[in-house]
Structure 1
Amino acid sequence: MTAWYLVIALLLLLANGFFVGAEFALLASRRTKLETIAAEGSTGAVNAIKSIRELNFMLAGVQLGITMASLGLGYVGEPAVAQVIENVIEGFVKLPSGLLHGISLVVALTIVVFLHMVMGEMAPKNMAIAEPEKAAIRLSVPLRLYANIFRPFINLLNSLAIWVTSRFGVDATTERLSAHTVEEIGAMVQASAKGGAIDRFEERLLSGAVELGERDAGAAMVPRTELSALPYTATPAEIEATVVRSGHSRIPIHQEDLDNILGFFHAKDLLQVAPEDRDRPLPADLIRRMLVVPESRKLRPLLIDMRRQRIHAALVIDEHGGTAGIVTLEDLIEELVGEIRDEHDVSEMGIQRLDGGRFLVPGSLRIDEAESLLDVDLPEGEYETIAGFLMDELGRIPKRRDSVDHNSWRLRVRSMHRRRVVQILIEPLASDSPPTPSGE
């Protein structure tokens, strides 16, 4: 009889491990991965997806199975093991029956608890977490068979549990949500990058795609102060000179002032101008149309509009109807993949690497681009550029030679144009150098 009890105890131990493994497999599995496997014809994946869709019910069934297996193991296994230990001890030494029984019970309890924890709990948990989808596929068919057999009893217990939790103001969900918010996806991308699952470029690409719907045209545009615009009376020769000087292929064309922009001229259209017309006013039919959008226009719908209308530039207007800047298709792509540089662009967005670990950068350099390209750690705030960071730190419009120290770096205004910061010198601070006062 003891042998049969030991066999039953072993089966209960395996059953406990089965339910524990199934529980962690369901919780750790990614439904998207299971759906891919199910599309290939895996019955186990289909059953695993069904289980995840009614996760609350399945977990209730798993908990019932764990509880029953654990109680049964204690009820059957502990006395059976104690009997075996008694027989072994009696073969070596004669002890009073009361003492012998007590020792056997303590040793048996220790063995059963050890096996229950290691073989019935921890090992199945580790195996399921290591390969959750594979475990879910293998365990889903017998798990659903068990759940369907005991469905009425499981539903009863689950309903009682939901009623109890509702008394505490908790709304128990019946299905694990597979959707994630933008913030959650962004956090997963960062975690994947830190863990080495994706490289820096992939992180930037994924983060840019996630954040594209959150950014607006005002954040991606070339601001009004940096536009290389010409009046509509400009000649092709003047446009060519502006293209060469600015490095921009799209030149805004305005009438009277920048608040009345008619469109833009593309550098490649210079090829359509006859040599004898180079010094005559620009032909009106070469001025390309632009979309007109507010600063608050989100980039994702703006990108869709550009593709649908086949217009690769948009005029961004402020709340008063004036020109705030211009955003191009290239600007939107750069929001996804980072700065795109061609043979006409200044190397590294105008960044000059100097001796002594110093950098000379434009004031328009975005905070995240500075951190990415220069490994400069700057805090987040109500600004998007290094010039904005300096202005926030100083509490006023910067002046030439103003400086701000942050961590191990000193940021010094190198040049200004009116009230706009043109260039900033970033240099490492010597460990023993005293802070430099602002405006020295």
Structure 2
Amino acid sequence: MDIYAQRDLATILLAEATSQGFEVSNLFGLGAVFLLVGLNGFFVAAEFALVSVRHTRIDQLVAEGKGSAKGVQKALTHLDDYIAATQLGITLASLALGWVGEPAVAHLVEPPLVFLLGNVLGENLAIGIGVAVAFTFITAMHIVLGELAPKSVALQRSETAALFIIRPLDLFLRIFRPFIWALNSTGRFVVKFFGLGAADEHSKVHSVEELEMLVRQSHKAGMLDAQEEILLRKVFEFDDKTARQIMMPRTEIVGVTENTTLDELVDKASDERFTRLPVYRNTLDQIVGVIHVKDLFPLLRERENRHSLSKGSTSSNHSSKLGMSAQNEEKKFALSDIIRPALNVPESMHVADLLTLMRQKKAHMAVVIDEYGGTAGIVTLEDVLEELVGEVQDEFDTAEEDTIADIEIRPDGSALVSGLVMLDTIEEHFGLKIPLEQAEIFDTIGGYVLGVLGRVPTVNDQVALGDYRLTVVKMDGLRVDRLLIERVNKKATVSGS
């Protein structure tokens, strides 16, 4: 077909369409189709923008004086009313689109189809095909331009979309408020009729588990780096732990008796790396307070001043007086003068509550009391904070002490761990599941080995834990000091003399 034949066919089709009833009003109908699709898209974008925009970002824009942000803030405060308005708008636009759009498009496509297919298929069948074409076209426009596209834009640019739609949406809400109120009231009545309470479907309160999942997803998406992800995860786990799980056990406590002399106290403070020492009467079950090494400085300075004043004399009488002075000095010194009150807490106290209590009492050390009233251990403010930020080392911590508290991964994939490592840390690090009956009794991996063996372990004793074998490498008296954890192909069995 040459170009002249194509022009003749177009002229014939246009003439036939005009003879079949094509009117200028159909153009207005087609314009109404695009307008209604646009309105539907506006209300869809408004709904998704309001439910996905960050409240904190809108609050920030309000503080910066952004005019439209205040309207969005109001909408977020009364979210159900505005969402009801968007749903009403979507419903009205969709109904109007079906009422106006399908006939308008059908009137456009029917005349050419009747002209082309009427002699072959019959006029009625050609008109039916025209109705189907019009319905398909309207449906595609409604879904793509009226639903999917505005939803995607609103989700990806929720802040911009919310600021754009808020003023027209607010006007629509004002106009149709009585109708929206009636619909909401009717909906609540129907829900109540079935014995259900009215639910706020657009106010989301995330559980801790959901927040943890969001953190993991944000980390995978690159929004959070590894350290931020670990810190947030530790925050969620913070209140699940108790004082018993983070304390220094009784066997590791370094303390002094209330009868300790000044020189003995200075020697103890010099030998140990701790700045605070518990003071006990007779046994560690009777801790009466805590001393701070800094409180020794005024006493040492006072003694040094007294000695310097007596340096000039060399007589024997004076020497004997100095000896008596030293004895009097020891008698004058009373540890009770520098003892600070001890904060006693039960071993079942949650770490979050412990942190709050220590802040209120301005205490950096607490004595953990067991169910029998004895001392189970001590916990410091550093121990509490390490549950959030990880191990904190100071200038007094040695490399040897660092490795004891950590899990040391070896080149062959095995690990050397301290017997004091908590069971939940072992579970998390190795993907193991500690048997419940053991987890309820013991807190540490060393305690687990002791419980499985049923006796005091010895070096080279082995126990099984899932697909792993635990070998005792070093003992500290009656306590498991170091363990070797190895993955084995088949489950190990308990062994040892």
- TM-score normalised by structure 1 residue count: 0.86
Question: What is the aligned counterpart of 1:163 among 184, 189, 195?
Answer: 189
Corresponding residue for 1:358?
414
Cα 1:68/1:395, change in 2 over 3 Å:
farther
Displacement of 1:16 in angstroms is 0.8
Gaps in structure 1 of 5+ consecutive residues: none
Q: 2:466 aligns with which of 406, 414, 433?
A: 406
Conservation of the 8 A alpha-carbon contact between 1:55 and 1:174: no
Q: Secondary structure at the match of 1:165?
A: helix
State whether residues 251 and 264 of structure 1, in contact with CA within 8 Å, keep that contact through their aligned partners in structure 2. Answer: yes
- The equivalent residue for 1:142 is 168
Q: Which amino acid aligns with 1:361?
A: V
Mapping of 1:95-114 within 5 angstroms?
95=119, 96-114=122-140
| 1:28 equivalenced with 2:49 (yes/no) | no
Q: Equivalent residues in 2 for 1:208-227 (5 A)?
A: 208-227=234-253
1:424 aligns with 2:483: yes
Check conservation: 1:399, 1:439, Cα contact below 8 A.
no
CA distance in 2, matches of 1:25, 1:367: 45
Q: Give the Cα–Cα distance (whole angstroms) in 2 for the partners of residues 320 and 259 of structure 1.
A: 10
CA distance in 2, matches of 1:77, 1:141: 27
Q: TM-score, normalised by structure 2?
A: 0.77
| Contact 1:53/1:176 (<8 A) preserved | no
Identity %: 38
Distance in 2 separating the partners of 1:389 and 1:19: 61
Equivalent residue in structure 2 for 1:415, among 463, 469, 474: 474
Q: 1:10 aligns with which of 34, 53, 70?
A: 34
Taking a change above 3 Å as real, the CA distance of residues 176 and 64 of structure 1, as seen in their structure-2 partners, is closer
Task: Give 3-state SS (helix, strand or coil) of 2:45's partner.
Answer: helix
Structure 1 residues 39, 397: closer, same or farther in 2, change over 3 A? Answer: farther
**What is the CA distance between 1:155 and its match in structure 2?**
1.2
**The residue matched to 2:223 in structure 1 has which SS?**
coil
Cα distance between partner residues in 1 of 2:213 and 2:165: 31
The residue aligned with 1:48 is: 72
Find the aligned partners of 2:84 and 2:449 in 1 and give their Cα distance. 57
- Counterpart-to-counterpart distance in 1, 2:92 and 2:447: 64
Which of 270, 283, 303 aligns to 1:257? It is 283
Equivalent of residue 355 in structure 2, options 303, 309, 316: 303
**Aligned with 1:134: secondary structure?**
helix
Counterpart CA distance in 2 for 1:190 and 1:241 is 50
Report the aligned-residue RMSD.
Answer: 3.2
| CA displacement 1:241-279 (0-9 Å, x = unmatched) | 6567664443322110011112233445555536898x9
Contact between 1:230 and 1:239, CA under 8 Å: does it hold in 2?
yes
Distance in structure 1 (CA, Å) of the matches to 2:140 and 2:71: 33
What CA deviation, in whole Å up to 9, does each residue of 1:189-222 have, x standing for no partner?
Answer: 3443344322232233333444444543333321
Mapped contact 1:182–1:211 kept (Cα < 8 A): no
In 2, Cα distance between the equivalents of 1:364 and 1:377? 18
**Cα distance between partner residues in 1 of 2:50 and 2:257:** 66
**Residue among 286, 299, 321 paired with 2:373:** 321
> Offset at 1:160?
1.2
Q: Secondary structure at the match of 1:425?
A: strand
**Matched residue, 1:347:** 402
Partner of 1:203: 229
Q: Tell me the distance in 2 between the aligned counterparts of 1:397 and 1:74.
A: 81
Contact 2:462 2:469 in 1 (8 A): no
**Counterpart Cα distance in 2 of 1:398 and 1:176:** 59
**Deviation of residue 11 (structure 1)?**
0.6
CA–CA distance in structure 2, aligned partners of residues 170 and 201 of structure 1: 44
Q: Label 1:388 to 1:63 Cα distance change in 2 as closer, same or farther (>3 A).
A: farther
Secondary structure, in 3 states, of the residue corresponding to 1:225?
helix
In structure 2, do the counterparts of structure 1 residues 145 and 216 end up closer, same or farther at CA, with 3 Å as the change threshold? Answer: same
Farther-moved stretch of structure 1 (81-90 vs 57-66): 81-90
**Deviation readout 1:270-320 (Å, 9 max, x if unpaired):** 55536898x979851343332222223343443344334432111121233
Please name the residue that 2:150 is paired with.
124
Which shifted more, 258-267 or 344-353?
344-353
Structure 1 residues 352 and 210: CA distance shift in structure 2, 3 A: closer
Out of 295-304 and 66-75, give the one that drifted further.
295-304
Cα pair distance change 1:168/1:388, threshold 3 Å: farther
2:92 is aligned to: 68
What amino acid is the match of 1:376?
F
Equivalents in 1 of 2:273, 2:486: separation in Å?
28
- In the alignment, is residue 86 of structure 1 matched against residue 110 of structure 2? yes
**Bigger CA drift: 348-357 or 253-262?**
348-357
SS at match of 2:155: helix
Shift of 1:389: 5.0
Amino acid at match of 1:336: L
For the structure 1 residues 184 and 242, does the alpha-carbon distance in structure 2 shift closer, same or farther, using more than 3 Å as the test?
A: farther
Tell me if 1:292 matches 2:344. Answer: yes
Q: In 2 relative to 1, CA 185–404 (structure 1 residues): closer, same or farther, beyond 3 Å? A: same
* Structure (1 or 2) with the larger CA radius of gyration: 2
Name stretches of at least 5 consecutive residues in structure 2 with no aligned partner: 1-24, 308-325
